[in-house]
Homo-oligomer: A and B are copies of this chain.
Amino acid sequence: MKILDIYARLKRDMNYIEKELEKSIYSDYTIMRETSAHLLKAGGKRIRPVFVLLAGQFGNYQLDQIKHVAVPMELIHMASLVHDDVIDDADTRRGQLTVKSKWDNRIAMYTGDYIFAKALGVVTQLPNPWIHQIMSKAIMEMSIGEMEQIRFFFHTGQTIRNYLLRIKRKTALLIAISCQLGAIAANAPKSVSQKLFLFGYNVGMAFQIRDDVLDLCGTEQQIGKPPGSDIKQGNITLPMLLALQEESLREPLLQEIARIQAVDGQTDVSAFIRMIRGSNGIVKAEAMAARYIEKAIVALKDLPDLQAKKDLIRIAHFVGNRSY
């Protein structure tokens, strides 16, 4: 798989970032050390630091500078996952026990706060206030995106625009600024960091759409949790909204959603999943994801033909076809 080549090329630098991540959340305080180690061990693709490092190659790439963006971007992502698990009542993520289930909700909340604060501590070691402002705004938007998601739970009257704005805030912005800030931290020109932002934004949108498709079409092994967790929670995603537009399916789907809502998601949702899979919602959503990927690649058009550019394009294609 080509994505592995990229990681191989970045391996030395990513190992360094991993060590810095470990150091950053090392604490003298026992519970904190345990929850943090647990989070690190649970892993993840570290896709945000990868974007930071690749984007940094369009400027003056110095790992000891760029790490001050790569590490906090992953920390912010980790903190938001910990807080989401409190909200989602999730007991596992990526097949691992969550902080919330292994310790408790309260510990998870403060672990998240601690990691957010650490992200602030790391990023402010770079003296560029523009970087701080971008990061602060992105976390604010992310929080709003999470609230939007809650507000729209089981809300079948929402528009596709509502959905797109929400995943922009919730997912795409953080990937967009990973690319943008990697470039800014490497002193790349503003025109370059803007193009990388646009690239990241579009990849992020595709990433979330694919994620939402996978929740309906993936196996438990692929997605690390049982399929259908979105609708159980009330999260109406793009394939569902597209399926709801089909006249013959609309009424039965609304009834099924009402049934699931009435029992607060505590029910078998395989009939619902079959209905969505039987609609054109999946194919249409994948087509939208593909269009975002195209736009992402177009955004890179005028950037110099570095290896990093090829790598970004490859990652974009990989995200477009993701089944992990």
Q: In the bound complex, what is the Cα–Cα distance between A315 and B133 (angstroms)?
A: 35
* Secondary structure of the A contact surface, majority rule: helix
Distance to closest chain B CB from A133 (angstroms): 6
CB distance from A100 to the nearest CB of B (A): 12
The interface size of chain A toward B, counting residues with CB under 8 Å, comes to 42
Q: Which residues of B contact A148 (CB under 8 A)?
A: 29
Report the bound CA distance from A61 to B125 in whole Å.
26
Copies in the complex: 2
> A190 in the interface, Cβ–Cβ < 8 Å?
no
Cross-chain contact A117 with B140 (CB below 8 angstroms) = yes
Shortest distance between the CB of A122 and any CB in chain B (Å): 8
Given the complex of chains A and B, what is the CA–CA distance between A111 and B151 in angstroms?
13
| B121-A132 in contact (CB<8A) | yes
Give Cα A280 to B66, complex, Å. Answer: 58
Among the listed B32, B110, B113, B139, which residue makes an inter-chain contact with A120, where contact means beta carbons less than 8 Å apart? B139
Q: Which residues of A contact B (CB under 8 A)?
A: 27, 29, 31-32, 80, 83, 86-87, 104-107, 109-114, 116-118, 120-121, 124-125, 127, 129, 132-133, 135-137, 139-140, 142-144, 146-148, 150-151
Of the A-B pairs whose beta carbons lie under 8 Å apart in the complex, a sample of 16, sorted by A's number, is A31-B151, A32-B143, A80-B113, A83-B110, A87-B109, A109-B109, A110-B150, A111-B147, A113-B139, A113-B146, A114-B140, A118-B140, A120-B132, A120-B139, A121-B136, A125-B133
